[in-house]
């Protein structure tokens, strides 16, 4: 599908099952003047196609589709709208929301067919060089791609631009780009932390929303239009699509050279075309009824809370998604994907989520995609959309139960509506065995996190008791209400030494819990040095100092602490089991009138570990099992790793790890 240079010309193929005709429109190199229009052959099995002899890479083109305009039946064909090829490898032009992009005119009581032509202001596709040429760097990158065992993974969720925009060790001309992420200063930081895998926020070509407040943009990028193109906003040469592709490939290849994997956050649940009254830009104009989930009255299902929902249950839409994923692995070199609102992918034609959905079956039998990392955000906005534990096979899943249990346990009474019991905390620390073990999933299926891009940073979790999102332009209505957090006596930054000390202790304890828990740990970029967003828990439109990592204020001591935790995890196989082992954990409450507890890991092994948790505000005694024990880590800042005999004391708001060195 799409446009491919081959055999002395360019071959074109587009799926449009309900169209009566599709025209290929050719433009000059700048995309301004239409130079020719060619009617494609078909449809053959819903595909329109044609071969253009002597055409070469660099050719600029768009599409016009003819078919029924019948909104009540889900059809919105309008040949006056130039359409962007959904399979485009290169996109040219600058997009602005204009009335001409809509296929209708909305009157007082009804809508009418719109005959305004939008070609002059529409985005166009450009034929990319053959994959054998363009993929040379990617092929080299795949050849040296690291293959980390699932039990060894440490994920690092990061925004390409936000990571480096204020990084003093990266040249100013590179900051905010793909190249910056592969700069030696960035790589040194990742290696110091023990990161194995970068999980990038969306890098696909995306659009801003049509009604953005002045000065704001869709910074996170969860609004994909070009599913085969890196976003030019993150490139050194944004005006040259070929250069953007090459820069992305070089970034991946360089990261691979240093043993770092790259996972992409992908958005196959909705597009920027909005609800049934949205613009006609690409998929809608080719075949709305096939590409989107359409209800009986012609309105679009909205399982994404963004106006529309891709109809992945349709075989050709499944193919479209798989084509995109394969492109990013084979032509761009990446190592896997995190799927936004992934429950959408498992909904059958009747709307019910199923582990045996056709998409999952197709994905797992694919010889390329069955080998890469697959991570689900295991919910969507529809009925019965929460599907934690519901994904098949070797899928990993973001586990929000771990986040809430960890925060609730350590924040305790300071956090409103916590209600986290010791039993709940123990389950989450043990890779959520209650969820994954009965389903024959592995401990690594649970992607553990305390903070991610969507919500408070770790430093803000202990500095605020409520969200502060007024900068987003929605009068503080956006963002999650009731997020587990606590300010420990003062809202926002303070110089009160007691509050500062308590916040640091709790933050260290939560970070230690994340890094030492069984399952797959995921760091949110910046949490390793105390990055703050001023209490903004939904900084999706903040392409500024709020959304960028605050490197000038980085806490070097906390970075060292996270690196120590990572090294401890790597050195102790008992902390990162690949399989379930019966009797591998032995839990006990330490004091009946507190939440304190301890876990002996590998009690029947020669050198078991003891992890003790004290979420209270006072030190507590810790009776030790028989034998001689050595402190490996104390988040309460004890530094002496000395043998202990009968008991020790756990600092307030701290986690302690001990290892038996002699029976």
Catalytic residue selected from 265, 340, 404, 651: 340
Cβ–Cβ < 8 Å for 161, 129: no
Number of Cβ within 10 Å of residue 258's Cβ equals 15
Starting from the edge strand earliest in sequence, which strands make up the sheet with 124-126, in order? 34-39, 21-27, 60-66, 124-126, 91-92
CA distance linking residue 404 with residue 216, whole number of Å: 30
Number of Cβ within 10 Å of residue 574's Cβ equals 17
Report H helices in 136-269: 136-143, 160-164, 178-181, 184-193, 241-257
Cβ–Cβ < 8 Å for 88, 3: yes
Torsion sign, CA atoms 47, 368, 395, 137:
negative
Tell me if residue 491 is catalytic: no
CA distance linking residue 460 with residue 11, whole number of Å: 53
Is the bond preceding residue 630 a cis peptide, omega within 30 degrees? no
Q: 634-656 burial by CB neighbour count: b if 16+ within 10 A, else e? A: bbbebeeeeeeeeebebbbbbbb
Catalytic residue selected from 85, 261, 276, 377: 377
CA distance linking residue 592 with residue 650, whole number of Å: 16
Tell me if residue 340 is catalytic: yes
By CB atoms closer than 10 A (0-12, 13-18, 19+), residue 485 is: buried
Number of residues that make up the chain: 663
Token pair 């993929």 is found at 135
Number of Cβ within 10 Å of residue 233's Cβ equals 18
Give 13's strand partners.
Answer: 2, 49
Give 203's strand partners.
Answer: none
CA distance linking residue 449 with residue 523, whole number of Å: 7
3-state secondary structure of 622: strand
User: How many Å separate Cα 64 from the centre of its chain?
Assistant: 33
Positions annotated as catalytic residues are: 340, 377
């Amino acid at each position: 599908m799409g446009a491919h240079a081959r055999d002395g010309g360019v071959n074109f193929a587009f799926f449009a099952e309900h169209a009566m005709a599709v025209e290929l429109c050719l433009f000059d190199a700048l995309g301004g003047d239409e130079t020719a229009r060619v009617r494609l052959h078909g449809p053959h099995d819903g595909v329109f196609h044609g071969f253009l002899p002597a055409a070469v890479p660099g050719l600029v083109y768009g599409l016009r589709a003819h078919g029924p305009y019948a909104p009540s039946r889900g059809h919105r064909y309008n040949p006056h709208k130039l359409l962007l090829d959904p399979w485009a490898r290169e996109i040219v032009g600058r997009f602005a929301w204009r009335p001409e992009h809509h296929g209708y005119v909305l009157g007082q009581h009804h809508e009418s067919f719109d005959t305004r032509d939008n070609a002059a202001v529409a985005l166009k596709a450009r034929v990319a060089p053959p994959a054998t040429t363009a993929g040379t760097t990617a092929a080299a990158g795949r050849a040296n791609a690291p293959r980390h065992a699932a039990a060894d993974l440490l994920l690092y969720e990061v925004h390409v631009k936000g990571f480096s925009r204020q990084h003093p060790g990266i040249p100013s001309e590179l900051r905010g780009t793909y190249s910056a992420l592969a700069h030696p200063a960035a790589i040194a930081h990742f290696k110091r932390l023990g990161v194995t895998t970068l999980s990038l926020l969306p890098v696909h070509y995306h659009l801003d929303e049509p009604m953005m407040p002045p000065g704001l943009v869709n910074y996170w990028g969860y609004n994909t239009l070009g599913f085969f193109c890196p976003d030019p906003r993150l490139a050194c040469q944004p005006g040259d699509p070929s250069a953007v592709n090459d820069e992305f490939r070089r970034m991946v290849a360089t990261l691979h050279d240093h043993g770092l994997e790259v996972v992409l956050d992908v958005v196959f649940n909705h597009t920027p075309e909005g609800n049934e009254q949205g613009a006609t830009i690409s998929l809608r104009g080719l075949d709305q009824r096939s590409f989107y989930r359409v209800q009986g009255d012609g309105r679009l299902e909205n399982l994404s809370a963004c106006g529309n929902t891709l109809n992945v249950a349709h075989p050709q839409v499944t193919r479209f998604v798989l084509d995109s994923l394969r492109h990013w692995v084979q032509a761009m070199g990446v190592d896997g994907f995190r799927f936004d609102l992934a429950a959408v992918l498992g909904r059958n034609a009747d709307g019910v989520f199923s582990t045996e959905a056709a998409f999952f079956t197709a994905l797992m039998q694919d010889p390329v995609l069955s080998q890469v990392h697959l991570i689900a955000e295991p919910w969507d906005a529809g009925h019965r959309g929460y599907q934690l534990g519901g994904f098949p096979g070797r899928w990993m899943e973001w586990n929000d139960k771990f986040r809430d249990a960890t925060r609730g346990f350590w924040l305790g009474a300071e956090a409103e509506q916590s209600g986290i019991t010791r039993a709940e905390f123990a389950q989450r620390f043990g890779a959520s065995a209650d969820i994954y073990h009965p389903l024959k999933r592995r401990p690594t299926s649970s992607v553990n996190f305390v903070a991610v891009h969507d919500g408070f940073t770790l430093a803000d979790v202990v500095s605020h008791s409520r969200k502060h999102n007024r900068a987003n332009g929605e009068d503080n209505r956006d963002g999650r209400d009731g997020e587990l957090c606590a300010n420990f006596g003062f809202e926002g930054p303070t110089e009160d030494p007691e509050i500062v000390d308590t916040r640091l202790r709790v933050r260290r304890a939560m970070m230690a819990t994340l890094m030492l828990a069984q399952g797959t740990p995921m760091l949110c970029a910046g949490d390793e040095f105390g990055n703050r967003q001023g209490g903004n828990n939904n900084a999706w439109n903040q392409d500024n100092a709020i959304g960028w990592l605050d490197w000038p204020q980085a806490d070097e001591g906390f970075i060292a602490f996270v690196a120590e935790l990572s090294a401890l995890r790597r050195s102790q196989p008992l902390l990162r089991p690949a399989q379930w082992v019966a009797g591998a954990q032995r839990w006990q409450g330490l004091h009946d009138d507190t939440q304190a507890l301890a876990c002996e890991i590998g009690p029947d092994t020669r050198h078991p570990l003891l992890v003790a948790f004290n979420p209270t505000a006072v030190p507590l005694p810790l009776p030790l099992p028989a034998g001689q024990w050595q402190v490996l880590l104390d988040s309460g800042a004890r530094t002496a790793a000395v043998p202990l005999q009968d008991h020790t004391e756990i600092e307030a708001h701290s986690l302690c790890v001990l290892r038996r060195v002699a029976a």
